[in-house]
Structure 1
Amino acid sequence: MPISTQFADLVDRAEAHPARDRATIEARLRQQIAVLRDDARLPQDRLAQEALLLATKADIQGELDRLRAHIAAARKLIEGGGAVGRRLDFLSQEFNREANTLCSKANAVELTAIGLDLKAVIDQLREQIQNVE
């Protein structure tokens, strides 16, 4: 399977993962808030603010969008031919940044695993780029 297809498949899996479902995220946050409320006796409005901040920070849609844009750019470079080694190397660095951020924001072990799989494919891409240069 071509690397660009592997990237696209992994991004699709991350995007479709049930842990990204709004109801799942809300249920997990409610559970965490209940524990905090019992332990810390924090005001309800403060807990709601913190929950919103956590939900916003955990959103990986931006990373998925950028990964898709990088996939499209890599395909365009490869299809265009010519001296693409350095440009692909730069794109591989961008892929790696997004995969790292996806892993750090992941709210489920399975999403982290997808991020790690992305990193493995990125390493394969880098090996191939070395052969092109």
Structure 2
Amino acid sequence: PEEKLAQEAALLGLRDDPVIRINRAVLDQILALQEELRGQVDATLPRLEALLAVRGVVEAGEEEQETEEARAARDAALAVGLADAIARLVAARGEEGGRLAAILTGHLDRIETLTAQAGETAAAQPAALKARLQQQVAELLDASPALPEEKLAQEAALLATRADIREELDRLKAHIAAARDLMAEASLIGRRFDFLCQEFNREANTLCSKSTDTDLTRIGLELKAVIDQLKEQVQNVE
């Protein structure tokens, strides 16, 4: 649109091309001389191209000075043309912005859905983790009957802490809300949005590293893929 605007402005401006004019005074003198010599010289009348080829008949001059009225009309036409071109440019950018906003919203919606799914999957993890710990404890006791119960409790607590993703989920939800707030602003948000994408990615990486469940790992990997798509589109945001 910017290139088209420049082209239209150039078309509406004044041209510097020279103006081709007929020098009537010289042409009239040639025609008068022709009449005078018609009866004295036995020759055919010259053709038009021959007359125009006579030096001084055709002149290349500068464009005539504009009158105030012509200048005002030209300036008015230029202003109208520029206003129309700018309006079309703004409309085009508005349409482009609307399409981009829809894409960003779609990615945020998907991140929100995956975050909710991760929370549901994580809620079922304690029971699965407990069963796994019981099996591991039984194996440890068989291998080392004298293993202190306090040591077993510490190991169980450590595993539970490592698998806890509640903080990551809370931060993901906060980042989603912050991103939606940014999209509602009328100012430049590109850099802040890009920073949020980095935060999204950090939480998704942590979620994957803490996962002890294949379903949660799958959700985490899909979450990372959607965040990458979001970050790619954010590069188009000013």
Q: TM-score, normalised by structure 1?
A: 0.91
Q: 1:103 aligns with which of 200, 205, 208?
A: 208
In structure 2, the partner of 1:2 is: 106
The answer to whether the 8 Å contact 2:163/2:212 transfers is yes
Displacement, 1:27? 1.4
Matched AA of 1:72: A
In structure 2, the partner of 1:52 is: 157
Deviates more, 1:43-52 or 1:21-30: 21-30
How many Å separate the matches in 1 of 2:140 and 2:201? Answer: 35
Deviates more, 1:75-84 or 1:61-70: 75-84
In structure 2, the partner of 1:85 is: 190
Q: 1:22 aligns with which of 126, 134, 142?
A: 126
Q: Which runs of 5+ in 2 are unaligned?
A: 1-104
The answer to which structure, 1 or 2, has the higher relative contact order (CA under 8 A, 6+ apart) is: 1
Matched AA of 2:172: L
Distance 1:34 1:81, change over 3 A: farther
In structure 2, the partner of 1:38 is: 142
| Count of matched residue positions in the alignment of Structure 1 and Structure 2 | 133
How many Å separate the matches in 1 of 2:172 and 2:149? Answer: 37
The answer to whether the 8 Å contact 1:63/1:102 transfers is yes
Q: 1:74 aligns with which of 168, 172, 179?
A: 179
In structure 1, the partner of 2:219 is: 114
Question: Quick check: 1:132 aligned with 2:237?
Answer: yes
The answer to whether the 8 Å contact 2:190/2:234 transfers is yes
Query: 3-state DSSP class of the match of 1:17?
Result: helix
Q: TM-score, normalised by structure 2?
A: 0.53
Displacement, 1:98? 0.3
In structure 2, the partner of 1:65 is: 170
Deviates more, 1:97-106 or 1:34-43: 34-43
Displacement, 1:68? 0.4
1:37-85 C-alpha deviation (Å, 9 max, x unpaired) = 2234422221111111110121000000000000000011011232111
Query: 3-state DSSP class of the match of 1:83?
Result: coil
Displacement, 1:30? 1.2
How many Å separate the matches in 2 of 1:66 and 1:90? Answer: 14
How many Å separate the matches in 1 of 2:125 and 2:211? Answer: 13
Give the structure with higher Rg (CA). 2
Displacement, 1:115? 0.7
The percentage of aligned residue pairs carrying the same residue is 58
